[in-house]
Chains A and B, each alone.
Chain A
Amino acid sequence: MGLIDRLLPLRPPRQVVFAGERHAEVFRLRNGRVAHRVPVPGAALAEDPGDDWQALFAALEREETGVVFGASPFIFNVFEFDRLPWRRQALRELVAWRLQKIFPENIEAYDHRWFVLNRRRVLSVLVRRSLLDSVESAFHERNIPLTAIGSSTLQILGRALGARPVPDLVIERDGAGCTLAFLQGHSPIYIRKFRGVSESPADAGDEIGRTVSFVRGQYGIDPRRCWLHDHGGETAAVEAALQELSEEALGGGRLSPLPPGPGPTPHLPVRP
Chain B
Amino acid sequence: MRKLEYNLARQPRLDVFAFVLRAALLFLLALLLAGLAAAYWGGRRARQEAAAPAAGRLRDLAGETSRLRAEIESRQRALGGQLAVANVLIERKSYSFVGRLDFLEHVAGPGIRLRSLSLVNQRGDRVSLALSARSLPELFAVYKKLSAYGLAIASETQTPDEYLVQLSFSAPDPEAPSPRTAPSRKSPQRTPMTPRRPDRK
Contact = CB atoms under 8 A, between A and B. Distances in A.
Interface stretch (B6-14, B64-72, B78-86, B193-201): B6-14
Q: Report the interface size class on chain B.
A: 20 to 34
B7 A11 contact: no
A148 B4 contact: no
B8 A9 contact: no
Interface stretch (A80-88, A149-157, A218-226): A149-157
Interface string A141-173: 000011111110011011001000000000000
Interface in B1-49: 1-16, 18-19, 22-23, 26
Given A154-B4, A158-B4, A149 B9 contact: yes
Most B CB atoms within 10 A — which of A116, A146, A155, A187?
A: A146
A113 interface: yes
Nearest to B7: A148
A66 B9 contact: yes
Contact of B11 (A9, A127, A147): A147
A118 B4 CA distance: 12
A91 to B, nearest CB: 13
A150 B2 contact: no
Contacts of B23: 7
A148 B3 CA distance: 16
A10 interface: yes
Given A5-B5, A117-B1, A118-B1, A145 B10 contact: no
B1 A187 contact: yes
Nearest to B22: A7
A173 B165 CA distance: 149
A146 B9 contact: yes
Given A7-B19, A9-B18, A9-B19, A147 B1 contact: no
A64 B13 contact: yes
A1 B9 contact: no
B6 A186 contact: no
B19 A136 contact: no
A157 B3 CA distance: 10
B160 to A, nearest CB: 128
A10 B18 CA distance: 8
Contacts of A5: 5
A22 to B, nearest CB: 22
A154 B6 contact: yes
Contact of A151 (B6, B12, B16): B6
A247 interface: no
A115 interface: yes
Most A CB atoms within 10 A — which of B3, B6, B13?
A: B6
A192 to B, nearest CB: 18
Interface in A92-139: 111, 113, 115-118, 123, 125, 127, 132, 136
Contact of B6 (A9, A113, A116): A113
A35 interface: no
A115 B2 contact: yes
Interface in A158-209: 158, 161, 186-187
Contact of B9 (A6, A8, A115, A147): A147
Contact of B15 (A9, A151, A154): A9
Contacts of B8: 111, 113, 127, 132, 149-150
Interface in A65-92: 66
Given A66-B9, A146-B9, A149-B9, A11 B4 contact: no
Contacts of B14: 8-11
B11 A1 contact: no
Given A9-B19, A146-B11, A147-B11, 13 more contacts: A7-B19, A7-B23, A9-B14, A10-B14, A11-B14, A66-B9, A113-B8, A136-B9, A145-B11, A148-B12, A149-B7, A155-B6, A158-B4
Closest 7 pairs (CB-CB, A-B): A11-B15, A149-B8, A9-B18, A186-B1, A9-B15, A11-B13, A147-B13
8 contacts: A1-B3, A6-B22, A8-B14, A10-B7, A11-B15, A11-B16, A64-B13, A115-B2
